[in-house]
A and B are shown apart, each in its own frame.
Chain A
Amino acid sequence: MALPKLAVYKFASCDGCQLSLLDAEDELLAVAEVVHIANFPEASREVVPGPYDVTLVEGSITTPHDAVRIRKVRAESRLLITIGACATAGGIQALRNWADVDEYTRYVYAHPEYIEALQTSTPIAEHVKVDFELRGCPISKQQLLDVIDALLHGRRPNLPTYSVCVECKRLGIPCVMVVTGTPCLGPVTQAGCGALCPAFHRGCYGCFGPMESANMDSLTEWWLGLGVDDHGIALALRGFNAWAEPFRSQSEALLEIGRPR
């Protein structure tokens, strides 16, 4: 029986999420025995034509060319999985969505006329149907391997939808907000990293994006109580998952209120 064909595509991103596959040093060769890595430009010159059974998409849509390219990728993919904060939420480059891209271009490039960029950085799901999303900046290698395994065996991937707080409690890490008064996005952020930042005595900064039904108002009250102003809270929400709801609307509301410092 032919192995299922895997493709990996990159849009606007840092390469880190697709690198996660190459970083699976103990599993990479085993993965290559159960799936046919058919199109993965970062790792291989060989391009086996589609259609593909599973396509991993990294990065966000930021250029007119990419907005067209993603439709072609979708058309040749049976299952399309987005990997990482750029592909699922627009990434850090979605900060342009609140700015004037022409001004950004003039700031970075001497000849803005050479640059072709959309006004927005948007997640893949705003352009085409996505079958499954893997969160994280970067994604968790274990979650990626679990998803590939799940798809191969026709089961649903088993990924948490609860908050980083749950991971923290399980690991017995003292709450950084309670113990040291450190502002933390853990209560509103989806688990997946293993509560890494609290384990390193710092507040979570939201790599895995908003959890289901995050209580943004409660988080805001907590942060205000710790002495962070509206602007500071809004900036914290405007990180790697800035364009994901409800981080997006909460940051907008906070900047509108603009309670004086």
Chain B
Amino acid sequence: MSGTREISVDYLARVEGEGSMRVKVVDGVIEDVEFSIFEPPRFFEAFLLGRPHTDAPDITSRICGICPIAYQMSAVHAMEDVLGVQVGGALRELRRLLYCGEWIESHVLHMYLLHAPDFMGYESVVHMAKDHRPIVEQGLRLKKVGNTILRLIGGREIHPISVKVGGFFKVPTRMDLESLVPELEWARDAAIETVRLVAGFPFPEIEQDFEFVSLSHPNEYPINEGRIVSNKGLNIDVAEFNDFITEEHVARSNALHSRIRGRGAYHVGPMARYALNFEKLTPTARELAVEVGLGPVCRNPFKSIIVRGIEVLYAVEEALRLIDAYEEPAEADVAYEPGAGEGHGATEAPRGLLYHRYRLDTEGIITDAQITPPTAQNQLMIESDLRAVLERHLDLSDDDLQWRLEQTIRNYDPCISCATHFLKLTIDREEAKR
């Protein structure tokens, strides 16, 4: 095709935060692909300086209203790394249960409310509900199961208040947690139905040679702990993050782009966790993945919706296991003395690896802070996917192509509020003469 086509989307919908996209195709050749983040910078790292280390979980949770637990968890693990605090036993397991609640809430929000409408051809979940009310109702109820866990352990769904360095302010009783069981049992069946539903969606044929990066833990599907590994040879301690991964600041974005030194773009999130930790899933989750034809590694980014479904099922089953094993700890937290030093924390936010690093003085005051959110890490990969999708779908009309490219971005469930610490969509497809 001759001429220049430009497609721009100035304000990308159904993502969390403000971003844009612009692509330019000249004589059938892709000239430019830009995925930009214009979410205003909020300078979290800067205003943490001079504040007590105990403020970090509550303040950093405000980076993102969709995954506040991820921020709280990476923050407390980093602080505990500085201070040499070990949080084990029931407190550790309770953190994992709380995080399962966030995975369920965040994944189901994205699958049913933000991503499914793309596959089913609706502008939004409200439009979709007019024709498919039972499906939407199932999604809302499943999402609520995650939020119920957050509310019970964390006090509220958004910016929970129970997490602290060393443990919790208050822990639930066994009876409190048991009240969650009947709805979680319903959720297990609903998650299975959800995976079967989304696996039947039409998927564009595309396979990307991703470098998947996630935590890996010897005994469990990674959530709060593990080494940082990839399918291309990365295997590092969390403390080595900056030795292997660089952040670059480019003009078009208020988010920093991450790349692996010497290699480049990489992919974090559910597909990475799944590919690198498949054998750690529950048998039900593995069998279901096989049943729907997913295989132990999925390289089609559009199928991330199925992988999210598998992770929802995992999180539901893991929550049931954790509740069954729970014994209320005698103390809600581990006591410690403030101390100086540097510490690192990386946990698996619903969207992928979230790294925090802090330096504290002898009184426990923050003197240096670094936060690397998943969407910033995925930003280069998203552009690479846009390019790959564009190459295969230049025959589409402008409207269809725009929608397909938006969907390509939504595959990552990008959280732009997080990444600015991060998005704007413009497809430029202009039939101009050369």
Contact indicator A43/B124 (Cβ below 8 Å): yes
Contact of B59 among A92, A105, A109 (CB under 8 A): A92
B residues in contact with A17, CB < 8 Å: 65, 158
A residues in contact with B6, CB < 8 Å: none
A residues in contact with B45, CB < 8 Å: 107-108
Surface stretch bound by B, among A72-80, A163-171, A196-204, A208-216: A196-204
Contact of A248 with B by CB under 8 A: no
In angstroms, Cα B130 to Cα A46, docked, is 15
Contact of B211 with A by CB under 8 A: no
Interface residues, chain B, with chain A CB atoms under 8 Å away: 11-18, 39-47, 49, 51-52, 55, 58-59, 62-66, 68, 109, 113-114, 117, 123-127, 129, 133, 136-137, 140-141, 143-144, 147, 155-159, 161-162, 164, 169-170, 247-251, 254, 256, 332, 403, 406, 415, 417, 421
Interface residues, chain A, with chain B CB atoms under 8 Å away: 10-17, 19-20, 22-23, 25-26, 28-29, 32, 37, 40-46, 62-63, 66, 91-93, 95-96, 99, 101, 103-105, 107-111, 114-115, 117, 121, 137-138, 193, 196-197, 199-202, 205, 207, 235, 239-240
Contact of B155 among A12, A99, A105, A199 (CB under 8 A): A199
Contact indicator A114/B249 (Cβ below 8 Å): yes
Shortest Cβ distance from B145 into chain A, in angstroms? Answer: 9
Contact indicator A96/B47 (Cβ below 8 Å): yes
Shortest Cβ distance from A219 into chain B, in angstroms? Answer: 19
Given contacts A23-B158, A138-B159, A46 and B127 within 8 Å (CB-CB): yes
Shortest Cβ distance from A51 into chain B, in angstroms? Answer: 19
B residues in contact with A11, CB < 8 Å: 40
Contact indicator A104/B15 (Cβ below 8 Å): no
In angstroms, Cα B158 to Cα A175, docked, is 25
B residues in contact with A22, CB < 8 Å: 109, 113
Contact indicator A19/B18 (Cβ below 8 Å): no
Contact of A44 among B65, B124, B137 (CB under 8 A): B124
A residues in contact with B49, CB < 8 Å: 107
Shortest Cβ distance from A106 into chain B, in angstroms? Answer: 9
A residues in contact with B18, CB < 8 Å: 10
Interface residues of chain A: helix, strand, loop or mixed (majority): loop
A residues in contact with B44, CB < 8 Å: 92, 108
Contact of B43 among A45, A66, A108, A199 (CB under 8 A): A108
Contact indicator A28/B66 (Cβ below 8 Å): no
Contact indicator B406/A109 (Cβ below 8 Å): no
Shortest Cβ distance from B35 into chain A, in angstroms? Answer: 16
Contact of B41 among A28, A40, A46, A105 (CB under 8 A): A105
Contact of B406 among A14, A32, A45 (CB under 8 A): A45
Shortest Cβ distance from B406 into chain A, in angstroms? Answer: 7
Given contacts A43-B126, A93-B42, A15 and B133 within 8 Å (CB-CB): no
In angstroms, Cα B113 to Cα A37, docked, is 14
| 10 pairs of A and B residues whose beta carbons are closest in the complex | A16-B65, A44-B124, A104-B46, A46-B123, A110-B249, A25-B144, A95-B47, A25-B140, A138-B158, A12-B40
A residues in contact with B164, CB < 8 Å: 202
B residues in contact with A199, CB < 8 Å: 155, 170
Shortest Cβ distance from B242 into chain A, in angstroms? Answer: 14
In angstroms, Cα B66 to Cα A22, docked, is 11
A residues in contact with B42, CB < 8 Å: 12, 62, 92-93, 121
Nearest residue (CB) in A for B157 is A23
Contact indicator A25/B143 (Cβ below 8 Å): yes
Contact indicator B66/A66 (Cβ below 8 Å): no
Nearest residue (CB) in A for B415 is A15
A residues in contact with B161, CB < 8 Å: 196-197, 200, 202
Nearest residue (CB) in B for A199 is B155
Nearest residue (CB) in B for A58 is B65
B residues in contact with A201, CB < 8 Å: 169-170, 332
A residues in contact with B250, CB < 8 Å: 114
Contact indicator B147/A109 (Cβ below 8 Å): no
In angstroms, Cα B406 to Cα A46, docked, is 13
B residues in contact with A40, CB < 8 Å: 124
Nearest residue (CB) in B for A32 is B126
Shortest Cβ distance from B128 into chain A, in angstroms? Answer: 10
Given contacts A117-B41, A199-B155, A19 and B140 within 8 Å (CB-CB): no
Contact of A41 among B13, B62, B159, B403 (CB under 8 A): B13
Contact indicator B46/A15 (Cβ below 8 Å): no
Known: A16-B64, A19-B158, A115-B254. 10 other contacts (CB 8 A): A14-B417, A15-B417, A25-B141, A29-B136, A37-B124, A41-B13, A42-B14, A42-B16, A45-B14, A63-B40
In angstroms, Cα B159 to Cα A13, docked, is 13
In angstroms, Cα B52 to Cα A235, docked, is 9
B residues in contact with A62, CB < 8 Å: 40-42
Given contacts A44-B127, A111-B249, A205 and B43 within 8 Å (CB-CB): no
In angstroms, Cα B170 to Cα A17, docked, is 25
Shortest Cβ distance from B260 into chain A, in angstroms? Answer: 18
In angstroms, Cα B154 to Cα A196, docked, is 10
In angstroms, Cα B117 to Cα A205, docked, is 39
Contact indicator B156/A45 (Cβ below 8 Å): no
Contact indicator A193/B156 (Cβ below 8 Å): yes
Contact indicator A108/B41 (Cβ below 8 Å): yes
Contact indicator A29/B133 (Cβ below 8 Å): yes
Contact indicator A111/B251 (Cβ below 8 Å): yes
